[in-house]
Structure 1
Amino acid sequence: MKQDYVIQGVQMDHQTRCKHYAKNVDIIAIKFKCCQTYYPCYQCHQELTDHLPIIWSKAEQNEKAILCGNCKQELTIEQYKKCQSRCPLCLASFNPGCENHSHLYFE
């Protein structure tokens, strides 16, 4: 199956952990609206691009903008926000601390 997305990160592993966030549960990547590219975190985006990020608006909650690093399936922003730190598709655990950075990605 062909993937329709691009993932970039600094020292990123096969489950999208990066040099900034490398715990076992750090397995999501977020698609940045500005460049339509997935990054493991805002710091990777900052290091690898030459532009400022644009956050997703509340009206765009149905956009597929989260990638589970375990099953490689894309989730909508709404699915991700409702998932309670677990992929609704493969049940892999996500880092609940990611919620602390939500404002950097989503309105």
Structure 2
Amino acid sequence: MIEVKGSVIDKQTRCVHYHSERDVIAIKFYCCRTYFPCVHCHEEHGCGRHEVWPKERFHEKAILCGVCKTELTIEQYMTSNYCCPSCHAAFNPGCQLHAHYYFDI
């Protein structure tokens, strides 16, 4: 089982900061290789550094679907049309507004 750290409030990786029906992903932070629901959880409970995923590593698994626990590569996530390719759970399209916190885009 993959551990998701931070202020997690349910088994589908929602946290105190983002907890809508569609907030069901966790992101593995490049700096510490640890999953957190959001950048705020990483700031509060993480490693103290902040490094984004470089483009040349977008082929690595760094996104966790909180519904089915499938790990996605960053490329898969970015081309997913905001749903899990495995279980079809809907992801929050608003997350794209925060992508620069996680990925070199």
TM-score category by the smaller chain? over 0.9
1:84-95 mapped onto 2 (5 Å cutoff): 84-95=81-92
Other structure's SS at 2:95 match: helix
- What is the rounded CA distance, in whole Å, between the counterparts of 1:97 and 1:63 in structure 2? 22
Match of 1:42 in 2: 39
Moved over 4 A (4+): none
Match of 2:48 in 1: 51
Match of 1:32 in 2: 29
TM-score by length of 2: 0.95
- What is the rounded CA distance, in whole Å, between the counterparts of 1:41 and 1:12 in structure 2? 12
- What is the rounded CA distance, in whole Å, between the counterparts of 2:62 and 2:9 in structure 1? 18
Query: Identity of aligned pairs, percent?
Result: 52
Select the residue among 11, 19, 24 that pairs with 1:22: 19
* Corresponding position: 1:7 with 2:43: no
Aligned residues: 104
AA matched with 2:5: Q
Match of 2:63 in 1: 66
- What is the rounded CA distance, in whole Å, between the counterparts of 1:7 and 1:97 in structure 2? 21
Structure 1 unaligned residues grouped into runs of 5+? none
